[in-house]
Amino acid sequence: MSASPAPAMENVAARPDIREKVTGHARYTVDKQPRGMVWARYLRFPYGAGRIAGFNIDAARAVPGVLEVSVRADHPPRCAGDVIGEMVAESPAALDDGLAALRLQCRPGQPTTNPDDAHAGVPPPNDEEAATLKSIFADATVTVEAEYRTAVQTHSCFEPHAVTAIPQDNGDLEVAVSTQSLMSCQEQSARAADLPASRVRVKAEYVGGGFGSKFGIGAEGNLAIKWARELKRPCRVALSRQEEHEMGGNRPGSIQYYHLAAAADGRLLGGRMHLVSVVGHTGRGGGVRAPSYYRWGEIVRTDDQIALNSGLPRAFRAPAWPQASFAMESVLDELAARLGMDPVEFRIRNETSERRQRQLRQGAELIGWNERPPDGTMTGVVKTGWGCGVASWGNSQGRCAVDLDVYPSGHLEVRIGIQDMGTGATVLAVDVAAWHLGLDRKWITGKIGVSDYPPGPASGGSITSRFTAPAVRDAAEKAVTALKARIAAEWELAPNDVTYAQGVFRAADGRERSWVEACRTITDGKINVRGEFNDRYWGHGNSDTAQFAKVDVDTETGLIRVRKIVAIQACGLAVNRLTAENQIEGGVIQGMSYALFEDRRLDGPTGAQYNADLLQYKISGIGDLPEIVAIIDRDEEEDGVRSLGEPTTIPTAGAIANAVANAIGARVRELPITPARVLAALEERGSA
């Protein structure tokens, strides 16, 4: 009796832990509530600048349930949300009561909240730059000189940053963290607790969202571990929704100046880029990844950062790329329009990648590009437009270690010290092993999210799948080798004379043993093997993508309705088709949200974020869902797993912006593209 045939890579079963999530049984960090747990939070300054004018610490301490509270003012507040103290209490209600009793009074100062107040404008080129630009523009048939802006975007993870620190009876420490970096959290927790790392266990079996802001235990972890140690009780710290917006990290805004030229034959000639990031109070952490993807010609480029009295940036899914892509894809369409060239042909003309050229042609066909009229020429109140953009992502190698146990029953357990904040990383443990062992998934249990497991990569840079898959494959092959040795011994053959394929061990003389039968040779409890870094499964080449958008724009209300997005994404071998589609669709929806809705708004006089919630900080809703055609672009020669999570969200905003401009014959050069901005652009065009 043999095990059933192996599912192929691009398995279409859902992620192995889907049921726990759907049934509400998955326990996230904020769901872990050991007996006796205390709750701690930071006290925060409410304005972008100013001073503390008064507070009543004794009244706060006297509130039933408040265990300790302190206010400190070692530096002037720098942003709304800046830490000015801490409180620990028996319950969230006691924390609220303590805060009320504290009667914290603050006076706002003069925060910098408007980028234009701090923007020095585009610096004049120096003599050498000026000479370069002069020669570039001398050959120009057309030029575009424009400024593009993008808003600050907050990560808005649905599970907030949270840590539950749980002291153990023997002095060890268990720490639950909502994190993208399981292994670094162990190291940091140990330092915070002044314990050897071997006495600290970090658990992150389920993580409620992480797009780059959840690396390390953070200030929340330091606070939770501090009070857990001091009170010898479990301690939970979880940010509120307001704290998430203000202090949970953000994608910087941008002010991007482009003055670019093209020749009559469609060649990009180059020009000037001045790229400014709008960041938080440190004045650092920004960046705009221009130029890229196309042959831009010679570029004179300068960069700057503008500091606002606001929360600091944290890496956000493809950091620095979506800002650049929106502007660059917009500029390309503007140049193409001036040349009278089709935007797809213009891109193909200047593309550096054959694959993206092919994806552009394929996407154009799938979106119905031949229906696209010249900009703004469609009649009627509701006008349809088409736009596109490209992106790419690199594929370096990196380490991961995997434990694999094989039991006499034929079952396997795969353990990896990685984490899953929505990517479906458990498929790496289960589906890669299933594929290489030729076994049905039901034989394999995948476990992740505990720091006891062998070290795996943090989930950033779209590395998790491409670092982990080779190690799982290695472990599977070692398991086969171990069993081959036992069968060979029984058959009195050399191990090399035994072959294994699709769940069956075979000898040349026709003898056979199924996987399950072979496992009965395991007489010492289990076989354990360790999978390691190796060169196989190495997915050469980039993860290229082209995306096309089709939108309807109501020219009376300014409302935009994205009708369809075609997203063609190369990612090597997709370990699992459904989870890969979810990554593509998820990136597209976040890109659409960035293009049309998200905007961190600061109150001018006080510097508070006045939309620090999920009602007025708008993200893509279910009603906004377009038809998404997600295509896993794979060559027959593909033999490795490549990056996937980040390239999917880079070109969407540019494609949508271009589609809107095509529809209405006017260009909105600022994200989010709101109805008000659409109407303003139409009005400006009408009066031109």
Partner 1 sequence: MTAPGRDPVPAPAAKSAQFSSTRRQFLRGLGLVGAASVCPPLTTAATANPANAKPSHPDLEEYGRDPQPVILQINGQTHTVSVAPRDTLLDVLRHQLNLTGTKSICEHGACGGCSVLWDGRAVPTCLCLAREAAGHEILTVEGIADDPRFAPLIEAFCAHDAAQCGFCIPGFVVRAAELFLQGERMSTEEVQIALSGNLCRCGTHAKIVTAVTAALSAGAIA
Site for partner 1 contains 201 (CB under 8 A): no
Task: Give the Cα separation of 73 and 44 in Å (integer).
Answer: 11
> Is 419 near partner 1 (CB under 8 A)?
no
Going by C-alpha positions, the residue among 423, 46, 88, 412 that lies closest to residue 227 is 88
Of 124-132, 203-211, 340-348, 512-520, the window that binds partner 1 (rule: CB under 8 A) is 203-211
Query: How far, rounded to the nearest angstrom, does the alpha carbon of residue 334 sit from its chain's CA centroid?
Result: 29
Residue of 24, 124, 525, 686 interacting with partner 1 (CB under 8 A)? 24
**18 versus 493: smaller Cβ distance to partner 1:** 18
Please give the single-letter amino acid code of residue 257. Y
* Residues 276/287, Cβ–Cβ less than 8 Å: no
Minimum distance, C-beta of residue 373 to partner 1, in the bound complex (Å): 11
By beta-carbon proximity to partner 1, the closer residue of 109 and 209 is 209
State in angstroms the smallest separation of the CB of 606 from partner 1.
20
- Type of residue at 680: A
| Closer Cβ to partner 1, 328 or 567, answer by number | 567
Give residue 538's identity as a one-letter amino acid code.
W
Distance of CA 133 to the CA centre of its chain: 37
In this structure, how many other beta carbons lie within 10 angstroms of the beta carbon of residue 445?
Answer: 17
Strands 298-307, 268-279: pairing is parallel
Q: Residue 21 interacts with partner 1 (CB under 8 A)?
A: yes
Shorter beta-carbon distance to partner 1: residue 21 or 634: 21
- When binding is defined by CB under 8 A, the residue of 175, 378, 498, 657 that contacts partner 1 is 378
When asked if residue 622 is in the footprint of partner 1 (CB under 8 A), the reply is yes
Judged by beta carbon, residue 96 or residue 603, the one nearer partner 1 is 96
Closer to partner 1 by CB, 244 or 670: give it: 244
How does DSSP assign 630-654, residue by residue? EEEE--TT--SB---TTGGGSSHHH
What is the gyration radius of the CA atoms in the chain, in angstroms?
A: 28
Residues 127-146 close enough to bind partner 1 by CB under 8 A: none
Near partner 1 by CB under 8 A: residue from 124, 340, 380, 686: 380
Given a contact cutoff of 8 angstroms between Cβ atoms, the answer to whether 136 and 149 are in contact is: no
Min CB(533)–partner 1 separation in Å = 28
556 in contact with partner 1 (CB under 8 A): yes
Position 686 contacts partner 1 (CB under 8 A): no
In angstroms, give the least distance from the CB of 113 to partner 1.
23
Least Å distance, CB 129 to partner 1, is 41
> What angle, rounded to 10 degrees, do the helices at 218-231 and 182-193 form?
40
Alpha-carbon torsion 375, 554, 594, 146, what sign? positive
Rounded Cα gap, residues 80 and 96, in angstroms: 19
Closest CB to partner 1 among residues 378, 432: 378
- Binding residues among 32-61 for partner 1 as defined by CB under 8 A: 33
Name the one residue in this structure whose structure tokens are 């720098």. Answer: 78
CB of 614 to partner 1, least distance (A): 4
The nearer residue to partner 1, 379 or 523, going by C-beta atoms, is 379
* Residue of the chain from 120, 381, 508, 688 that contacts partner 1 (CB under 8 A): 381
Tell me the pairing of strands 402-406 and 412-416. antiparallel
Q: Is 301 in the site for partner 1 (CB under 8 A)?
A: no
Among 14, 83, 366, 504, binds partner 1 (CB under 8 A): 14
Binder among 10, 68, 90, 96 for partner 1 (CB under 8 A): 96
- What are the structure tokens assigned to 618, written together? 């708008």
Taking the C-alpha atoms of residue 580 and residue 572, their distance in angstroms, rounded to an integer, is 11
Tell me whether the omega of the peptide bond preceding residue 64 falls within 30 degrees of 0, making it cis.
no
User: In angstroms, what is the minimal distance from the CB of 367 to partner 1?
Assistant: 17
Residues of this chain, 212-241, that bind partner 1 according to CB under 8 A: 240-241
Per CB under 8 A, 619 contacts partner 1: yes
For partner 1 (CB under 8 A), the number of binding residues is 71
Residue 344 exposed, middle or buried by CB count within 10 Å (0-12, 13-18, 19+): buried
Which residues on neighbouring strands pair with residue 259, listed in sequence order? 145, 272
Measured from the CB atom, the residue of 374 and 605 that comes closer to partner 1 is 374
| Stretch 495-554 residues interacting with partner 1 (CB under 8 A) | 552, 554
Per CB under 8 A, contacts with partner 1 among 390-409 are none
Per DSSP, 323 falls in state H
Return the closest-CA partner of residue 365 out of 338, 391, 388.
Answer: 388
Q: Provide the 8-state DSSP code for 151.
A: -
Among 621, 639, 683, 684, binds partner 1 (CB under 8 A): 621
Write the DSSP symbol of residue 260: E
Nearer to partner 1, 310 or 583 (CB): 583
Binds partner 1 by CB under 8 A, chosen from 71, 118, 382, 488: 382
CB of 557 to partner 1, least distance (A): 7
N-term to C-term CA, the chain: 78
Q: How far is CA 558 from CA 149, 381, 674, in A?
A: 19, 10, 7
| Cα–Cα distance measured from residue 292 to residue 306, given in angstroms and rounded to the nearest whole number | 23
**Contact region for partner 1 (CB under 8 A) — 480-488, 514-522, 619-627, 657-665?**
619-627
The residue among 382 and 488 lying less far from partner 1, judged by its C-beta, is 382
What distance in Å separates the CA atoms of residue 39 and residue 90, rounded to the nearest whole number? 6
How far is Cα 463 from Cα 397, in angstroms, rounded to an integer?
8
158 binds partner 1 (CB under 8 A): yes
Q: Is 440 in the site for partner 1 (CB under 8 A)?
A: no
Out of 206, 321, 369, 393, point to the residue binding partner 1 (CB under 8 A).
Answer: 206
Q: Is 157 an interacting residue with respect to partner 1 (CB under 8 A)?
A: yes
The Cα 162–Cα 219 span in angstroms is: 10
Q: Which of 2, 30, 143, 495 binds partner 1 (CB under 8 A)?
A: 30
Residue 143 vs 611, nearer CB to partner 1? 611
Q: Which is nearer to partner 1, 15 or 233 (CB)?
A: 15
- Are 8 and 638 a contacting pair, CB within 8 Å? no
Cα–Cα distances in Å, from 497 out to 438, 487, 489, 492, 527?
19, 10, 11, 10, 21
* Spatial distance between the Cα atoms of 563 and 592, rounded to a whole number of angstroms: 11
Contact pattern from residue 561 through residue 590 relative to partner 1, giving x for each residue in contact according to CB under 8 A and a dash for the rest: x----------------xx-xx--xxxxxx
Stretch that binds partner 1, among 307-315, 348-356, 505-513, 608-616 (CB under 8 A): 608-616
